[in-house]
Structure 1
């Protein structure tokens, strides 16, 4: 059984700020298709590379800079869960699906941990390594918008992490997971909100982070009808699909190395590095398209927010949450409560 330990013990506890150094001190450092080179179809915008079939719905790049950021996000999730790849109580998985696998780093780590399991990582962009271990394979497939080609009841564990606004219908997404999870199998959804949280008065009207979030990013999302997943909404979708033993873990994820707690400080330091390219990755296409802003203006807003985070000027955090659910051993789906 996987360990349930994680970095945060009580999500309602306040995070104590480290006041030992000045806030302006130094920063811390329907078909599935096997990947082939013929599928490397890209478009370029504002100096970044995007996957052609992706740009209208999932406005993040897929170039080398973004791939490095995704690997750092994986590292930060390991810090948050104290080295655990998952929170579901699985013991000897046989067939595992990683939805939106990105660079494939989670799938590869899982394959190393469980060498007897078959792990399939799927994504719409072919940015995974061409050489991999025997029990891990990567496929091109849109698991969000298209029907799944695998047999029903095929997987005993399905993993989905940080797909954000790419999922337009969580009910349909979880229904697909239900159909392709075998009785007794588990699903796990890991997501984060983008509403800034702060326990003191450092998040002010003058905050550069607030400006990025509340004046640029969130209005752009609203303009395009894009909404970040909310915990209660996704939890209800998991339950309505028929999964039982649904459990939620909600953890604080600091932006920047401002916490006094040593482990949270380390996590915050990694998040600051992620934000160096992450704010632009999330915001550039979205804000320029939705709000008609000049790319240089957006870039400046991102840079100022990152500098504020790195210099510990603002003590903000977001919530990362993990939802797990088990498909009952009865073949027939129980009626939703």
Structure 2
């Protein structure tokens, strides 16, 4: 029998204002130029500048991976800056890096027989992998992505990055990791259920898998889906319109983008694999529209969410152009979305689906 947990006890929303450090009281400066000025490349599974050129391509003024047609968001410094911001937001919302921190710490406890290891699938800017590498200096951390990360400084000695496509399988990592993280990667995965099977083979007994995916369907202040389609409807949202157009364009490339809400069920369906599975929904407002009821940390999270979505309009522009939308249409949508969010004309939530599984231990295994 697989234990299923959906409690709220792994998250805290009641942050006290005095817990904040000085740079959290206002939104930090996430500068694109800090990434563009002098990026320092980490250790990759490629060597030459020729390989680098083959991995990247330019589409409508942005740089993309040249490996997979499924994932159609940029792989350049501005996008990695957005992902840094998103990472900061989720880290503050979750009060850390993990959905099940107790299980992760247990899985990564120092061992006599092997080095604890962590795999970050879809490492993006590398921020999650870098944070984990600093938190667990005794563990090896591997970040894989379709394109190189734009690192602002050399990574810790226990952290490396490789370019790979998980759609080709993870056989090379079989039984090699104690923690596997996969965040906002569903649009780049052709068959998420097959990916979960691969993950189960990658994890060692007692290892932890965690997934976090955002829905493109937005919700109003009462947690109801925003469904208005007419611009004359008072419930209409330009942000929702552009979000659904992006969803449609991504889905045309592959069905993975809709995997998020199904992941908890798919984990449960893997009988005999997990000794525990769980799920958690995070509701994050797009902007601090409920300021009167928000603590300082929650305001900070909401502001980061707003800035993330505003920047996302630039990220999806090439995708929408490639999908056949007119440039004038995208420009109009972008202008209206920015106005809607900057002036808080709509009270909107994004729903984040969080899932985890703890791999079944072998008979007689004991954690110390």
TM-score, normalised with respect to structure 1? 0.82
Kindly provide the CA deviation profile for residues 225-278 of structure 1, in whole angstroms up to 9, marking residues without a partner as x. Answer: 545334441112222332231011111011122123123322111112112221
Q: Does 1:4 align with 2:10?
A: yes
Shift of 1:75: 0.5
Kindly provide the CA deviation profile for residues 90-149 of structure 1, in whole angstroms up to 9, marking residues without a partner as x. Answer: 215111101111111111110111110111111110124383211111111112x11224
Q: Aligned pair in 2 of structure 1 residues 35, 280: CA closer, same or farther (>3 Å)? A: same
Shift of 1:77: 0.7
Q: Aligned pair in 2 of structure 1 residues 210, 326: CA closer, same or farther (>3 Å)? A: closer
Q: Does 1:67 align with 2:67?
A: no
Q: Does 1:134 align with 2:157?
A: yes
State whether residues 202 and 313 of structure 1, in contact with CA within 8 Å, keep that contact through their aligned partners in structure 2. Answer: no
- Where does residue 40 of structure 1 map in the other structure? 52
Shift of 1:73: 0.8
State whether residues 170 and 237 of structure 1, in contact with CA within 8 Å, keep that contact through their aligned partners in structure 2. Answer: no
- Where does residue 92 of structure 2 map in the other structure? 79
Match for 1:90 among 97, 101, 104? Answer: 104
- Where does residue 366 of structure 2 map in the other structure? none
Report the secondary structure of 2:172's partner residue. coil
State whether residues 7 and 79 of structure 1, in contact with CA within 8 Å, keep that contact through their aligned partners in structure 2. Answer: no
Aligned pairs (5 A) from 1:159-170: 159-170=181-192
- Where does residue 35 of structure 2 map in the other structure? none
Match for 1:212 among 242, 253, 268? Answer: 242
Aligned pairs (5 A) from 1:286-305: 286-290=319-323, 292-305=324-337
- Where does residue 349 of structure 2 map in the other structure? 317
Match for 1:327 among 359, 363, 366? Answer: 359
CA distance in 2, matches of 1:162, 1:195: 15
Aligned pairs (5 A) from 1:227-306: 228-241=257-270, 242-260=273-291, 261-262=294-295, 263-281=297-315, 283-290=316-323, 292-306=324-338
- What RMSD over aligned residues (CA atoms) do the two structures have, in Å? 2.7
State whether residues 178 and 206 of structure 2, in contact with CA within 8 Å, keep that contact through their aligned partners in structure 1. Answer: yes
State whether residues 284 and 350 of structure 2, in contact with CA within 8 Å, keep that contact through their aligned partners in structure 1. Answer: yes
Report the secondary structure of 2:332's partner residue. helix
CA distance in 2, matches of 1:136, 1:91: 18
State whether residues 277 and 357 of structure 2, in contact with CA within 8 Å, keep that contact through their aligned partners in structure 1. Answer: yes
Q: Aligned pair in 2 of structure 1 residues 273, 37: CA closer, same or farther (>3 Å)? A: farther
State whether residues 214 and 352 of structure 2, in contact with CA within 8 Å, keep that contact through their aligned partners in structure 1. Answer: yes
Shift of 1:48: 1.2
Q: Aligned pair in 2 of structure 1 residues 69, 35: CA closer, same or farther (>3 Å)? A: farther
Q: Does 1:180 align with 2:186?
A: no
Report the secondary structure of 2:104's partner residue. coil
TM-score, normalised with respect to structure 2? 0.75
CA distance in 1, matches of 2:268, 2:298: 32
Shift of 1:218: 3.6
Kindly provide the CA deviation profile for residues 29-63 of structure 1, in whole angstroms up to 9, marking residues without a partner as x. Answer: 9xx96243523222222221112223x21110111
Kindly provide the CA deviation profile for residues 195-220 of structure 1, in whole angstroms up to 9, marking residues without a partner as x. Answer: 01113599645432233234x33443
Kindly provide the CA deviation profile for residues 74-99 of structure 1, in whole angstroms up to 9, marking residues without a partner as x. Answer: 111112112x0112222151111011
Q: Aligned pair in 2 of structure 1 residues 224, 133: CA closer, same or farther (>3 Å)? A: closer
Give aligned pairs, total: 304
CA distance in 2, matches of 1:154, 1:257: 42
Q: Aligned pair in 2 of structure 1 residues 274, 122: CA closer, same or farther (>3 Å)? A: same
